[in-house]
Amino acid sequence: AQSVTQPDIHITVSEGASLELRCNYSYGATPYLFWYVQSPGQGLQLLLKYFSGDTLVQGIKGFEAEFKRSQSSFNLRKPSVHWSDAAEYFCAVGLEYGNKLVFGAGTILRVKS
């Protein structure tokens, strides 16, 4: 069965600093990959997704992610973090028709001023 690992439970970065959140998946074929963000007290919102094609994907709020097949990774990046980016971030993997999304455990991002 497919699985998703987010190795970092918490990350703290300074405002203006760059950010990288890690995500590794386990699946034999190319999966469908997603990053969602959850602000406190809110539901999850899609940041970006990868299905095929260009391995560097641009999303909303200045985020991007890169799919690396050789490393089974789909890391999320942002060049300069804003205080409003403080939230919990979830990586998710989906398979082809008939299956569901599997979410990682999430990474809580704290931004210090």
Query: Would you tell me which residues interact with other proteins (CB under 8 A)?
Result: 32, 34, 36, 41-46, 49, 51, 90, 94-101, 103, 105-106
Q: In this structure, are residues 25 and 5 in contact, taking their beta carbons and an 8 Å threshold?
A: yes
Nearer to other proteins, 54 or 96 (CB): 96
Min CB(97)–other proteins separation in Å: 5
Cβ distance to other proteins smaller for residue 5 or 15: 5
- Minimum distance from residue 84 beta carbon to other proteins (Å): 18
Please tell me what DSSP assigns to residue 6. -
Minimum CB–partner distance for residue 17 and other proteins (Å): 27
Contacts for 39-48 with beta carbons within 8 Å, 24 or more apart? 39/87, 40/87, 44/90, 47/76, 47/89, 48/76
For other proteins, the closer of residues 46 and 56 by Cβ is: 46
Phi, psi of 83 (to 5 degrees): -60, -30
